[in-house]
Amino acid sequence: MTKLIAALHGADAPALLAPGPGSDLGSDLRARLADAGCTRVQVNLDDADVAPAMRFGPGDGQGRPITGFVTVWTEDAAATLSVLAALDGGPSVYRVTEHRPVEPPVVPDGERADALANVAVLRRPAGMSQEEYLEIWLGGHTPIASETQYTFGYVQNVVEEALTPDAPVISAIVEELFLMAGMTDVHAFYGSGGDEEELNRRITRLMESCARFGAGDGLDLVPTSRYLWNL
């Protein structure tokens, strides 16, 4: 099974992929992906539900912000790529290897997860080897990230290769699930229970860890709503 992630840049990505009533575009996409060998599809959208959340980053390096992600698990990567590459805005598609330190909660097919699903796009610093990068990130940073934030889903995707022309060079795509209250309440986001001293300790420890592997620079952070379907 191969996992692919498409970073979307089209302004109408939410309209194309939204599962809401009155449109069959989302179901049409899922049908095409099923025909292409996909067994599961996940859609993450920067939409109205997460409008208050923080977002930042250089996007695709061409001035185009990232508007969402489509993630698929497929038996036929080539056929699936042809479907994903045809999406609006010329998405950047990557083959990834996943690690799941904290398994996200199970949600019925097509229902929005009750979460702020932050998706971060990471870039390895120049001069740092891939081996060192993965050792620091996956080995050293993972427990610190879980210790310093209130997350109830944590999926790490190591980028193995870009599959579309001119796709920006990135190293990883990370999804973390937070309480919806975390959009506006830093204590809910970090799990610090209203204690300012503890909040500052957690933020400092997290930022120091991020700096060790370049996650504090050249980072895209996209707040999203999360949907998942088994096909």
Q: Is the pTM of this model over 0.75?
A: yes
DSSP string, 34-49: HHTTEEEEEEEE--GG
Return the structure tokens found at 50.
């997460």
DSSP string, 143-171: HHHHHHS--SEEEEEEEEEE-STTPPP-S
* pLDDT band at residue 18 using 50, 70 and 90 as cut-offs: low
Residue 205 parent element (H or E): helix 196-212
**Residue 37 in this model has a pLDDT that exceeds 90:** yes
Q: Of the ranges 44-58, 110-124, 126-140, which one carries the lowest mean pLDDT score?
A: 44-58
105 SS3 class? coil
Percent of the chain with pLDDT over 90: 77
**Residue 21 in this model has a pLDDT that exceeds 50:** no
The pLDDT of residue 224: 95
Q: Which residues contact 194 (CB under 8 A, 6 or more apart)?
A: 187
- Kindly list the domain boundaries of the chain, sorted by start residue: 2-230
The CATH architecture one would assign to domain 2-230 is 2-Layer Sandwich (3.30)
